[in-house]
Amino acid sequence: MAGASLRVVFAGTPDFAVPCLAACRAAGVEVVAVYTQPDRPAGRGRKLAASPVKDAALAAGLPVEQPVSFKADADRATLAAYAPDLMVVVAYGLILPRKVLAIPRLGCWNVHASLLPRWRGAAPIQRAILAGDAESGVDLMQMEAGLDTGPVLIERRTPITADDTGGSLHDRLAALGAEALAEGLRRTLAGETLVARPQAGDGVAYAHKLDKAEAHLDFSLPAIELERKVRAFDPWPVAEAEVAGERLRIWSARAVERPADATPGAVIAASRDGVDVACAEGALRLLAVQRDGGRRIGIADYLNARPELRRSSP
């Protein structure tokens, strides 16, 4: 295939997929169509909104397809009519049946935001932070019928730092995914057949979809677990907790030591350095919060609104 063109159908939906679409366009392949989820109601007005990938595709003048599924023969026929050599799938949001996987001559590639087989599934970025993983990464995978079970073509790794949030790790992995995809496309265009490495049989973990109910902080748990939850759930769904009789969204916090006799859930210190809430092990120091109906504020501004907390601190 050296010197030949490559007809690519791209399938993706959220912001995470946009750098990969840009990588396809920059790689010299022919992006013949972009598939993305149907427009969904969004915002306070619940008006239909296009996905980030659709916006990027339309801005680039690319054809856009938005089937609800690929169950209908007509939808599969539309895909086949594009005569793709390869389909690149990045956080598309639909499970592709075997009949779809078989349409492109070179099959389907997927960019997945974890080091497989750990964190197969919908929310690998947040699950890695929640679990306290030291490392994450992206895998360029040859797709098969199972959920994220295909062999790995290219891998990129990155450490998870103590300051990483769901948002910061998301952005870093999106860039790494685009790099891995660009390498795969470049090597394929040069005539190379990428070697697919089967995933290990052990170490499998599933990254289940995030639920807003998970965002509640239970101070009967160790502080380090709650710190990870605060970081993982920034920017969505955002951790929340009852603190001194008030429901707060917790945007930034860190685990610290606490007195041995403190009751979990009690505010044990409050100063410009933070508001410390006792946990089963250690304390969670709140650094940035959001009150009902308010905006995100630093802890000093919060204490200005609740000076009684500062006065009651030991």
- Name the token pair of 216: 């509640």
Parts of the chain with a pLDDT under 70: 1-4, 311-314
**Residue 34 near residue 63, CB atoms below 8 Å:** yes
Residue 29 half-sphere exposure, CB side, CA atoms within 13 Å?
A: 31
Q: What is the pLDDT of residue 286?
A: 98
Can you tell me the distance from the alpha carbon of 38 to that of 120, in angstroms, rounded to the nearest whole number? 24
**Residue 286 near residue 265, CB atoms below 8 Å:** no
Beta bridge partners of 170: none
* Binding positions for (6S)-5,6,7,8-tetrahydrofolate: 114-117
Q: Helix 166-189 vs helix 18-26: angle between axes, to the nearest 10 degrees?
A: 20
Q: What is the pLDDT of residue 276?
A: 96
* Greatest C-alpha distance within the chain: 73
Complete domains list, the chain, with CATH = 7-207 (3.40.50.170), 212-312 (3.10.25.10)
**Residue 73 near residue 94, CB atoms below 8 Å:** no
- Name the token pair of 84: 């793709």
What burial letters (b/e) apply to 279-305, b meaning 16+ CB within 10 Å? beebbbbbbbbbeeeeeebebeebbee
* Binding positions: 114-117
Can you tell me the distance from the alpha carbon of 59 to that of 62, in angstroms, rounded to the nearest whole number? 8
pLDDT digits (tens, 9 = 90+) for 55-101: 999 999 999 999 999 999 999 999 999 999 999 999 999 989 999 99
Q: What is the pLDDT of residue 1?
A: 45
